[in-house]
Amino acid sequence: MRYFVAVAEELHFGRAATRLHMSQPPLSRAIKRLEADIGAPLFDRAPTGVTLTPVGAVLLDEARALLDHAERVRVRVGAAAGDTRITVGILGDGTDPGVSRLAAAYRRDHPGVDIRVRDADLTDPTCGLRAGTVDIALTRAPFDETALTVRTLRADPVGVVLRADDPLAGRDRLRLAELSDRRWFQFPEGTDPVWQAYWNGGTRREGPVVRAVQECLQAVLWNGTVGLAPLGHDLPGELAVVPLTDMAPSRVVAVWNEGDTNPLIRSLVEIATAAYRR
C-alpha cells in the first residue's frame, strides 16, 4: 500500500522510487503484483509518467485510510508496550538554546516516550534521515529536499570566521567578493551539492576537507582558512566572526520524510516551532 500511494501521488515510478529510497525495478514489480492480486490495472502507463485508472483512484482513498489506521495502531501498541520511541538527528553543534528548550518541553509533554538522539557531522545535512537512522532531524537548510517535508524554525544571519589577527577581522561587515582570494574549507566528495554550495558562498572554492565543526575551526586557526558560520555562537578567543552583508540567512529547520504521519513527529515539530522562536 505504501508503494502504491507513493506512485499514485508522484505519478511517476522514478520519483516514487526516490521518495521510497529504493530502486525502480522492485517498485514496478511490487505494483504489478498488487494489480494481479486486485485483478485490474491501477495505472495507465506512458513514457512521461502514469495516471490513475478509475480502480486506482478508488484504491488510493482506501490505501491512505489504511495507512493512517496502521500508523495509529503502531503508536498505540508501542505505547501500551512501553516501547514508544523517536530518534532525533541533530547537526554538528547541539548547544543551540532552542534544542535545550525543545528537549525540556518534549519530555514534559511526552514523559513515556524514549527519545534517542543521533549527532551528525557536516557531511549529512539530513542527519541520517535519508539513511533511515532517524525519524526527524533538527538541522540547517539548504539541502536537497526531495521527498522530505521541511519546517523553518528560525533564520540566523551568517558571518565569516577568521583568525583574530587577520587584517579583515576588525571590520564591521564584509562582502563575499572580499574573500575571493582566500582558501575555504570543503566537505568530502559526495556531500549534498546544494549544502556544499551554500557554505561556499555560491562559488566553487579550494581548501581543506572537513567533516565536523571543530575541524572547521581548527582549519581557520592552523591554516588561515575562512568559512561561514551562523552569528551568535561562542567561538574561541583566537577567532573572530564578521557579518556578511550579501549572504542569505542560515535557516534552522525540522525535516522529516514526506508522508510520515507519526504523531510523535508532528508533536515534536509543533513544540520545536515555539521553542526555537523564543
Residue 43 to residue 140: CA distance in whole angstroms: 38
Residues 197 and 261 in one domain: no
Query: How many CB atoms are closer than 10 A to CB 266?
Result: 13
Instruction: Give the CA distances from residue 57 to residues 35, 43, 53, 184, in Å, rounded to whole numbers and listed in that order.
Output: 13, 9, 6, 52
Residue 8 to residue 41: CA distance in whole angstroms: 13
Residues 241 and 119 in one domain: no
> For 156, which DSSP code?
E
Of 80, 106, 123, which residue is a domain's last? Answer: 80
Residues 163 and 242 in one domain: yes
Residues 91 and 207 in one domain: no
Residues 164 and 243 in one domain: yes
Q: Give pLDDT tens digits along the chain (278 positions).
A: 989 998 998 899 988 888 786 788 889 999 999 999 999 999 999 888 899 999 999 999 999 888 878 767 766 666 565 557 889 999 876 567 888 889 999 888 888 888 889 888 888 999 989 888 899 999 999 999 999 999 999 999 999 999 999 999 999 999 999 998 899 988 888 899 999 999 988 888 888 898 888 888 888 988 888 889 999 877 888 999 999 999 999 999 999 998 888 888 989 999 999 898 76
Question: Which residues partner with 115 through β-bridges?
Answer: 86
250-257 and 114-120: which strand pairing? unpaired
**Domain extent at residue 106:** 85-154+251-275
Residues 269 and 145 in one domain: yes
Nearest 5°: the CA angle 84, 86, 87 is 145
Between 24-38 and 2-10, two packed helices, what is the crossing angle to 10 degrees? 110
Residues 26 and 60 in one domain: yes
Residues 109 and 166 in one domain: no
